[in-house]
Every structure is written in C-alpha cells, then in structure tokens.
Amino acid sequence: MTASPSTRIFGSGIRRREDPRLITGNARYTDDIKLPGTLHMVIVRSPVAHARIRSIDTSAAEAAPGVVAVYTGEDCSCGSVPCAWLIPDSNLLTPEHPALAKDRVRYVGDGVAIVLAEDRAQAQDAADRIHVDYEELPAVINPEEAAAAGAPQLHDDVPNNIAFTWIPNGDKDAVDAAFDAADVVVSERIVQQRLQPTAMEPRSALAQWNGATEELTLWYTTQNPHIHRLLISGMTGVAEHKVRVIAPEVGGGFGSKIPVYADEALTAWAAMQTGRPVKWTETRSENYVTTIHGRDHIEYVELAVNNDGKVAGIRGKVYAGLGAYLSTAGPGIPTILHGLMYSGAYTFPQIYCESIGVFTNTTPVDAYRGAGRPEATFLIERLMDKAAQAIQMDPVELRRINLIPPFIDGHDVAIGLTYDSGNYEAALDQALGMVNYDTFRSQQAKARDEGRYFGIGVTTYSEICGLGPSQVAGAVGFQGGLWESAIIRVSPSGKVQALIGTSPHGQGEETTFAQLIANELGFPVEDIEIVSGDTNRTPMGFGTYGSRTTPVTGAALVKAARKLREKGRLMAAHLLEASAEDIEYDDGKFFVRGAPDNAKTIQDVTLMTTLAWDLPEGMDPGFEESQFYDPPNFVYPFGTHIAIVEVDVESGEVKLLRYVAVDDCGPQINPTIVAGQIHGGIVQGIGQALCEGTIYDDEGQLLTGSMLDYAMPRADMFPWLELGHTETPSPHHPVGVKGVGETGTIASTPTVYNAVIDALAPLGVEQIDMPLSASRVWRAIQASNGG
C-alpha cells in the first residue's frame, strides 16, 4: 500500500491493516493459545430441560485415565452468574443463576459438573462416565404460555415465571384515545423467532492462576474485556486489579460474546483450584445449547391510521422469552433497546409499549446483532405495509407521509428521545430510483397474469446506536457507564500506539482508527498501531457492541488527537520562535502563517517534546494524551432498503432477485469497511427472514442443535447486493460519524418479509411466521385462496 496523503485518508477505502495475519493463518484466537501444563475442561450438561437432580455419581469419571479433578455444583464455590441490566420501574426479579446447577436444572445445556483432564479427549471420555439421576419436571418453552396461570414454574421466587413487566413513560389513555379516534386500526401477532447467533469462532477460555502473586490471567472470546474483568472478579473473589482479561483475536460476536457466562468463570475457578492452566472450548453443538440466543418475542402490535395516511399511534404488548436465567444484559434488550425504537423513522404522535419478560426452560436470551431494535423495526414496517393495504394506499406513499422531515440538529420523537440528524426522504428517493419502483409495479402486475409471483418490500428505518450517554445508562438500570476512553502515545521516533477500551473483533477499527488519527495528526497510517483487548494494556472501556465503537471510542480518539495537535502547535511555535497564534497546521506540518517552508513536522515536535530539552513555559514533557468521552446523545443512522423476490407458489421456495440498500451513517471513514458491515448485516437479517430459526420440541429439546439443522445463510442464496448512500453528519460527534454495525440487520428482515407477503397478496396470504422456509410459505398458500 502506498501512503495516502493524510488529508485524503479520511474517506479512503484502504486495505485493512489487520488482514495480513488473518489471511496467512498467523492470527491467534483463544483456542490457538497453549500454555504448558494445561488441563482441559469438559462441562457435563443437562440433557433434559427441567429436572431435579437426585444424585450425581462421579466415581467412574474420577478413576478414568488422565483425569485430575471432577467437580459438581456441590463442590463448586464459584460465584453465581450476575445480571448487569437491572431495568427500573418493572419489579424485576433476579433469581440466582449458579455457575453449576446445585439441585435443579432448568434448560438443556445447564452445567452440572466439570471434568479436568490432561487432554481433551480424556476429559470427554470421563465426562461420558458421569451418571446423573434426574427427576424430570414439566417444561415450558413458549414465553406466552409460560406467563399463563398453571404453567410449569422455573424459579420458586418468580411467580408465573414473570421476571418483569416494563412500560416506558407513556400516556396509555392518550394512546388508547388516539386509537379510538382513528379511521383504521391494523393489528398483527408477530413471532420474532428465536435465533442462534453463530459467531464462527465458538467460545473459548484459557485461565492461568499465579498463586504467589495472586494474579489471574484469562484469555477469553469476549467483546468487552473490561466488563468481564469486573464481573469475573466478583465471581472468583480475586481483586479486580489482579485479574487480567485478554481478548486475543476474536472470531465474531454479534452480541453472543458480551455476556459473562458460567463456563468461562469456571475455567478461572478451576485454575485456582488446581493451580494449573485450564482451557475450555465449546463445540458447535455445545454452543447452540449454551451460548445465548437472540430475539424470542411474541408480540401483539397495532397501528392506528387515518384514511389520509397519517398514522395516529402505535402500541404493542411483547412477551419476551428470557431463557432459564437472566443473562448479563437480558432484561434490557426487549425493553429499553426495543420499546424506545417504536417511533422508527416516523412522526408517530402516540406510542405505547408493554414488555413482559418471561423465564422458559430454554437457553438464556441476550443481545444479538441489533438487539431489540430489529424486532421494533420489523413490527413497525410490517404494520405500515398492513396499514397501506387497509387504506388502499401505496406502501411507499404511506411511509413518505409519515417520515420525519429533514433535520440537522435534533428532532424530538414521542417516545422521549431526541434524534440527532436525518434526511430520510433523500435515502428513500435514491433507493426507489435504484429499483425503478414505478416500472416494477407494472411488471409485477404483468407477471401475475402469467402466473409468476414477484413482490417488493420497502423499509425506511432509523436506528438508535452509538450507546450511549452514561446518564441515560444509569437511568435505565444498565450497571455500567457507556463512555469510552483512549490514549494516544507517540514514541520519540514518531510511531503511534493508540490504546482503546473497546474491543473490536472483525469490524476493522485497527484500520479506521488509524485513519482517524492520521487524519487529525498527519502521521502515516503505517506508523499507527491500535491496541485493544487487554485490560493490562488498555484504558477502561465498556466494550464493542451496539454500533458504538466508532461513534464513542472514535470520538475519544479524535479529541485526544486534537489535544496533541494543540500541544504540537505550541511546541512548533516555540521551536520556530513564532507566536502560537501565527502557527497553522496542515497535513502533519506546523508552519508560520504565510511561510509554509518555515515548518516543523509532527515528528519533529514529537521528538522535541519527548526529549524535553527546551519546552515552552508551562508545558509538560512527552507526546501522549488520553481522553475520556461520554457521548451527549446516541447517534441515529437511517436509510431505505428494498427487496424484490419471486415466490414459486408450487413449492413455496423464495428467490431473492434484487436487494438495494441506501444507508446513511454520516461521513464514512473507510467506505470499503462500511460496505462490508452493511453486506454482513443484510445477510444476517435475511437469514432471520428466510432460513434461521431455533426449534425446540415440547420437552425443551433443541431440534436445531447443530449446523445440520440450523440453517445459516450461504453464498448461493443471494444476488449481488446493491448499495447506495447519503451523508448526514451527526451534529454532536466530532467528525460526524454514526454507527453502521447493525443497520443491515435492522432493515433487511422486514424488507424481505414484506416482499414475500407482497408477492402472495393476490392469493390472500397476509401473514406467515418466520423463517419463511419453503415449507411454511407453501402451507400459507395452501391455506389461502391460492391453495
């Protein structure tokens, strides 16, 4: 790569700097790391969804070759698994979640014992020899049924399995009055099916305990090492400053590597018990029963609309499956991150949402790419299409009538948020132009005459991301701040290390953050290294999720860089014997105004501030700055997505013909990386629409327990994704950028869903539960007037 002039580095799609190690097999993920003397841990898991443990016989396992130790819940002093999002005003109940089940198991996969052996195969052999006597109890899987009277009860201290009932600030009477007065009310029961996140790298942990120094080092597959340090400190009793959490290369997360799990904590606890390093790596089948799932809502939602197309209000009641225990952020997903999104991109005057969190005998549910916001966008967009049909208006026209008009610095929506900036109609118009919407409608009509069923779906969305102001975090019960910090450290020879508290794992910030720093300070990108993922090397941070790393850490870096630039300017003035007011900066050079040759480079001032032989009065030595940054607001990316599909009405097969996405995440630091985020998000969201979905049987057995059954999107399902973009800067971010990690997932599910329903409209099909597998589409057609 040739060095780009730093003035043009912002906005350049340069190749990623993390790639050379990844494409050559030299990157080290957690399971790739080996320590001498390591014991391998296998966790014995409950094969039944709900049972009392009568007894556990570990004697055969203890006698098996290579076994060093076996522990059950009775022997285990590892602390319970905490929940870290205690939503207020909801009567939240937080039943205990032991690291190993003591007397009762509550889902298939609940850990009951651990085996530590010299190698992994021996540990597995021994685990197979542990006999657990279970007294089976009735299980409940569906959250709506679990909340009903008479359902099997999971926790003695949680009546009716209801963990919380949450209602955002809202005037129910006013909302109901708006519905009563409206011309039309459309409603739908939406099943937001449970999904399995499936980061390609399974979770893994390697723990090392140094008894002499009482230091615990943990290599983890984590999205947020500092949070894990805090929570693991609590679970193990090791002081936080003696715990070091390292996220080496991490192979995707999508939310599933945010929570603190029993499994990783058990490696730490076992290392402390045995004095030897302990490693655990889940298999994919294990991942599918123990790593968190996403979504799992049953929603009753309604939209009130007048015949002129103006929406009068939206309201919904959500039964949110939480799984058997509260995962780290579990309660926050179907409430704060869901209910606050009910305005979408629109001027809805009245909004009401009630969310009931329910325990079921299933794997715990937590954040999965988009986390609460895709569910909200789906129901809004679904209801908009239904409303359009009800008042016989084109669905695009209905959206246009209700879109928030362009705004550059703040727009208040009824739910109580202030959106930062948006120009929704511009994105809509660009996307409509790309698909030639008007001609499509006539082609569609013609094709229907020939017995072919084409459909189009259009989503206009706005998303809350860049989480978020810490004051808001506190107000909504999040047990942490949501600020970030960064240190930019320049060595005497002008090489830069930027240390950040967030922990990217595929999003490319080693590149984009180097571009940001290069843009501010003029160091070549090659001279800038981004350091993350090690609590002993990096400053405090809350992690990479919620499309927040670039909006929040990026802002911290820019502000730190600007402090350095100011220090550099003062130093340059001193070196050039000029007044600081007369010093200008451009592209890595400080020069006297009007005399560009009379200059000092950023490297010059780095060296001279570091040597500190002759500093200006009052200046401290060194060329390093740190910055804490608490965002004043969220950021609100937006856009329009359009899908065109064809449905084979004989077989129910759905073929995606075109997919167009126009997204606005403000100025793009690296358009190639932005496009990659959007591609990935779109495909993940379409996975939910068309093929992904967890299936449990009535006894709580996971029927989608391996990649043979859980249908991941594959390359051959997709046409070439067509991207456009608009650019509306965030007014409160120092370089105007918004997050882009989740937009694709938020928009694409309803877009494709609505396209399929549009295709089948002539047959009278109005609703199909996701995923829209060929079998379900066929069945809906059979049940309609086309069957």
Partner 1 sequence: MWPKSFDYIRVNSVEEAITQLNKHEDAKLLAGGHSLLPAMKLRLAEPALLVDIAPLGLTQVSDRGHGWSIGAMATHAHIAANANGALAQAAAGIGDQQVRNFGTIGGNIAHADPASDPPAVLVALGAKIYIRGSGGERNVAAEDFFIDLFTTDLLSDEIITSIYIPRKEGHTNAYAKMAHPASRYALVGVAVDICTQEGHCREVRIGVTGATTHAVRASGAEAVLQGAEINDGNIAQACEAIQADIADQLLGDAAYPEDYRQAMAGVFLGRAIRAATA
Partner 2 sequence: MQVAITVNGQTYERDVEPRLLLVHFLREVLDLTGTKVGCDTSQCGSCTVHLDGVALKSCTMLAVQADGREVTTIEGLAQNGELHPMQESFWEHHGLQCGFCTPGMIMASTAFLQQNAEPTEAEIRHNLEGNICRCTGYQNIVRAVQAAANGGDG
Contact 709, 210 (CB under 8 A): no
Asked if 672 interacts with partner 2 (CB under 8 A), we say: yes
Minimum CB distance to partner 2, residue 34 (Å): 7
Task: Residue 463: name its binding partner from partner 1, partner 2, none (Cβ under 5 to 8 Å by kind).
Answer: none
> Could you say which of 124, 470, 610, 626 contacts partner 1 (CB under 8 A)?
124
Q: Which stretch binds partner 2 (CB under 8 A): 41-49, 161-169, 504-512, 600-608?
A: 504-512
> Could you say which of 6, 9, 10, 16 contacts partner 2 (CB under 8 A)?
16
Residue among 222 and 350 whose Cβ is closer to partner 2: 222
Q: Which stretch binds partner 2 (CB under 8 A): 159-167, 415-423, 424-432, 678-686?
A: 678-686
Tokens 């002759």, residue located: 614
Residue 402 CA to residue 382 CA, distance in Å, equals 15
Contacts (Cβ under 8 Å, ≥6 apart) of 633: 418, 420, 469, 732
Asked if 77 interacts with partner 2 (CB under 8 A), we say: no
Asked if 728 interacts with partner 1 (CB under 8 A), we say: no
Residue among 9 and 132 whose Cβ is closer to partner 1: 132
> Could you say which of 77, 433, 775, 783 contacts partner 1 (CB under 8 A)?
775
Helix (H) or strand (E) holding 186, with range, is strand 184-192
Q: Which stretch binds partner 1 (CB under 8 A): 121-129, 220-228, 409-417, 580-588?
A: 121-129
Residue 272 CA to residue 276 CA, distance in Å, equals 7
> Could you say which of 508, 666, 693, 739 contacts partner 2 (CB under 8 A)?
508
Q: Which stretch binds partner 2 (CB under 8 A): 12-20, 84-92, 316-324, 412-420?
A: 12-20
Contact 343, 383 (CB under 8 A): no
> Could you say which of 651, 719, 764, 767 contacts partner 1 (CB under 8 A)?
651
Q: Which stretch binds partner 2 (CB under 8 A): 309-317, 322-330, 427-435, 681-689?
A: 681-689
Q: Which residues is 592 bridged to in the sheet?
A: 583, 595
> Could you say which of 191, 524, 774, 784 contacts partner 1 (CB under 8 A)?
774
> Could you say which of 273, 459, 684, 773 contacts partner 1 (CB under 8 A)?
773
Contacts (Cβ under 8 Å, ≥6 apart) of 238: 214, 216, 232, 268, 272
Site string for partner 2, 183-212 (x = CB under 8 A): ---------------xxxxx----------
Minimum CB distance to partner 2, residue 442 (Å): 28
Asked if 434 interacts with partner 1 (CB under 8 A), we say: no
Task: Residue 653: name its binding partner from partner 1, partner 2, none (Cβ under 5 to 8 Å by kind).
Answer: partner 1
Asked if 708 interacts with partner 1 (CB under 8 A), we say: yes
Render 714-776 in DSSP notation, one character per residue: -GGG---EEEEE-----TTSTT-----SSHHHHHHHHHHHHHHHHHHGGGT----PSS--HHH
Asked if 662 interacts with partner 1 (CB under 8 A), we say: no
> Could you say which of 336, 635, 673, 777 contacts partner 2 (CB under 8 A)?
673
- 3-state DSSP call for residue 177? helix
> Could you say which of 612, 697, 764, 783 contacts partner 1 (CB under 8 A)?
697
- How many other C-beta atoms lie within 10 A of the C-beta of residue 158? 16
Q: How many residues bind partner 1 (CB under 8 A)?
A: 28
Instruction: Specify the amino acid at residue 477.
Output: G
* Residue 641 structure tokens: 């997505």
Instruction: Specify the amino acid at residue 205.
Output: A
- 3-state DSSP call for residue 214? coil
Asked if 121 interacts with partner 1 (CB under 8 A), we say: yes
Asked if 683 interacts with partner 2 (CB under 8 A), we say: yes
Contact 354, 297 (CB under 8 A): no
Q: Which stretch binds partner 1 (CB under 8 A): 80-88, 337-345, 415-423, 689-697?
A: 689-697
Is 572 buried (19+), middle (13-18) or exposed (0-12) by CB count in 10 A? buried
Q: Which stretch binds partner 2 (CB under 8 A): 454-462, 484-492, 559-567, 706-714?
A: 706-714
Asked if 655 interacts with partner 1 (CB under 8 A), we say: no
Asked if 250 interacts with partner 2 (CB under 8 A), we say: yes
Residue 542 CA to residue 103 CA, distance in Å, equals 34
Q: Which stretch binds partner 1 (CB under 8 A): 123-131, 482-490, 493-501, 590-598?
A: 123-131
Among 668, 645, 647, which residue's Cα sits nearest to residue 657? 645
> Could you say which of 167, 417, 711, 761 contacts partner 1 (CB under 8 A)?
711
Asked if 249 interacts with partner 2 (CB under 8 A), we say: yes
215-220 and 204-210: which strand pairing?
antiparallel
Asked if 27 interacts with partner 2 (CB under 8 A), we say: yes
> Could you say which of 80, 153, 187, 285 contacts partner 2 (CB under 8 A)?
285
Asked if 94 interacts with partner 1 (CB under 8 A), we say: no
β-sheet with 484-490: strand ranges across: 528-531, 496-500, 484-490, 624-629
- 3-state DSSP call for residue 536? coil
Residue 363 CA to residue 286 CA, distance in Å, equals 11
Is cis: bond before 253, omega within 30 of 0?
A: no
Residue among 623 and 710 whose Cβ is closer to partner 1: 710
Residue among 483 and 710 whose Cβ is closer to partner 1: 710
Contact 313, 175 (CB under 8 A): yes
Contact 603, 596 (CB under 8 A): no
Residue 787 CA to residue 783 CA, distance in Å, equals 6
Task: Residue 436: name its binding partner from partner 1, partner 2, none (Cβ under 5 to 8 Å by kind).
Answer: none
What are the backbone angles phi and psi of residue 396, rounded to the nearest 5°?
A: -70, -40
Asked if 514 interacts with partner 2 (CB under 8 A), we say: no
Residue 509 CA to residue 516 CA, distance in Å, equals 10
Helices 743-760 and 774-783 cross at an angle (nearest 10°) of 40
Helix (H) or strand (E) holding 383, with range, is helix 373-390
Asked if 125 interacts with partner 1 (CB under 8 A), we say: yes
Asked if 506 interacts with partner 2 (CB under 8 A), we say: yes
Among 227, 223, 294, which residue's Cα sits nearest to residue 253? 223
Q: Which stretch binds partner 1 (CB under 8 A): 15-23, 185-193, 410-418, 705-713?
A: 705-713
Max CA distance (Å), the chain = 87
3-state secondary structure 287-331: HHHHCCEECCEEEEEEEEECCCCCEEEEEEEEEEEEECCCCCCHH
* Residue 122 structure tokens: 């021996």
Residue among 126 and 351 whose Cβ is closer to partner 2: 126
Helices 437-449 and 424-435 cross at an angle (nearest 10°) of 40
Asked if 452 interacts with partner 1 (CB under 8 A), we say: no
Q: How many residues bind partner 2 (CB under 8 A)?
A: 57
Asked if 285 interacts with partner 1 (CB under 8 A), we say: yes
Asked if 779 interacts with partner 1 (CB under 8 A), we say: yes
Among 471, 727, 511, which residue's Cα sits nearest to residue 4? 511
- How many other C-beta atoms lie within 10 A of the C-beta of residue 573? 20
Asked if 8 interacts with partner 2 (CB under 8 A), we say: no
Q: Which stretch binds partner 2 (CB under 8 A): 24-32, 290-298, 525-533, 641-649?
A: 24-32
Task: Residue 459: name its binding partner from partner 2, partner 1, none (Cβ under 5 to 8 Å by kind).
Answer: none
Asked if 93 interacts with partner 1 (CB under 8 A), we say: no
Minimum CB distance to partner 2, residue 32 (Å): 4
Alpha helices in 633-742 (DSSP H): 671-690
List interacting residues with partner 1 (CB under 8 A).
120-121, 124-125, 128, 283, 285, 650-651, 653, 691, 693, 695, 697, 703, 706-712, 714, 773-775, 778-779
List interacting residues with partner 2 (CB under 8 A).
13, 15-16, 18-20, 22-29, 31-32, 34, 121, 198-202, 249-252, 254, 283-285, 505-508, 672-673, 675-676, 679-684, 706-708, 712-716, 718, 720-721, 744
